[in-house]
């Protein structure tokens, strides 16, 4: 498995997409910190980009890489190797390369200009989102045999998590505005890794006062030890569950 993962990493670095992605994140991050005198404002601007760009790139890159590696996967299946080992090697290679690109492109500026608890939480959240959406992209790719359908499904999933989900939540809260919905919103936030990461970072930046009573509720929960454990556990589930489901489908799939 280690040799396969190294080969996948080498193949990814050879096409230079990851290098361009790293340079893009580095340029954007440095520009924002240079333009903003206030580190918190720079992090807020960078957070908006990270919550949109990181999941999108993770989904698209993973899906395209899977379909481009289809012949290689078939070749490996002809060898005395288990399907689980082959797919996990692909996942490790892709996720490590994307996470390393994020940690270099965003991590270096954050460590230079905002090396504190908020900056560290920012890096951990972005890394968790990368791993989670890589898992979701593998699930969409393995489920769909056709490349166009796989990429379309990945884009629809990103569109749902990044845009549609927030609209649905606002619609639910508006429709039931006469009822106490604050605790219910805690459950809704767990159903979207992007929302979970956004809330966690915003509370670390101490801007919950701008969110009124709901922000106070978020701060009292997510700021506690139980809240941090809850956030960590849900993020791990978003990474592990799609990957486990992908492995189950891949082991039974007729290639």
Total count of domains within the chain: 1
Quick check: pTM over 0.85?
A: yes
Distances, alpha carbon 42 to alpha carbons 45, 113, 118, 181, in Å: 5, 10, 12, 32
Q: What is the pLDDT of residue 190?
A: 80
| Mean pLDDT score of the chain | 83
Name the nearest CA neighbour of 247 among 152, 138, 146: 138
pLDDT in tens, 153-193: 999 999 999 888 888 877 887 777 676 666 677 777 788 89
Reported as half-sphere exposure (CB side, CA atoms, 13 A), residue 177 has a value of 4
Distances, alpha carbon 138 to alpha carbons 84, 133, 153, 181, 238, in Å: 13, 8, 11, 34, 13
pLDDT band at 39 (very low <50, low <70, confident <90, very high): confident
Q: Domain span at residue 20?
A: 2-252
SS3 category, 221: helix
Does the pLDDT value for residue 26 go beyond 80? yes
Distances, alpha carbon 59 to alpha carbons 94, 109, 153, 156, 182, in Å: 11, 24, 10, 10, 31
Handedness of CA 39, 121, 47, 60 (dihedral sign): positive
SS3 category, 1: coil
Percent residues over pLDDT 90 in the chain: 29
Burial per residue of 129-138, b for 16 or more beta-carbon CB atoms within 10 angstroms, e otherwise: bbbbbbbbbb
pLDDT in tens, 114-127: 888 888 888 999 99
Q: What is the pLDDT of residue 212?
A: 44
């Amino acid at each position: 498995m280690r040799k396969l993962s190294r080969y996948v990493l080498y193949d990814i670095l050879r096409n230079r997409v990851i290098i361009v992605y790293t340079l893009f994140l580095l340029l954007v991050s440095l520009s924002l910190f240079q333009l903003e005198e206030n580190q918190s404002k720079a992090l807020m601007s960078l957070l908006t980009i990270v919550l949109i760009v990181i999941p999108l790139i993770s989904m698209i890159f993973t899906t395209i890489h899977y379909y481009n590696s289809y012949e290689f996967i078939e070749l490996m299946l002809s060898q005395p190797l288990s399907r689980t080992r082959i797919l996990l090697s692909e996942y490790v290679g892709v996720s490590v390369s994307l996470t390393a690109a994020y940690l270099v492109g965003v991590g270096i500026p954050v460590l230079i200009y905002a090396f504190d608890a908020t900056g560290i939480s920012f890096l951990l959240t972005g890394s968790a989102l990368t791993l989670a959406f890589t898992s979701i992209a593998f699930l969409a790719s393995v489920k769909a045999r056709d490349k166009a359908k796989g990429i379309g499904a990945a884009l629809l999933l990103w569109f749902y998590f990044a845009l549609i989900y927030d609209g649905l939540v606002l619609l639910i809260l508006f429709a039931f505005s006469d009822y106490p919905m604050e605790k219910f919103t805690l459950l809704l936030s767990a159903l979207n890794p992007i929302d979970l990461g956004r809330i966690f970072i915003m509370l670390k930046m101490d801007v919950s006062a701008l969110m009124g009573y709901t922000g106070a509720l978020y701060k009292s929960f997510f700021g506690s030890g139980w809240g941090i454990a809850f956030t960590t556990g849900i993020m791990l589930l978003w990474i592990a569950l799609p990957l486990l489901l992908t492995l189950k489908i891949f082991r039974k799939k007729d290639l």
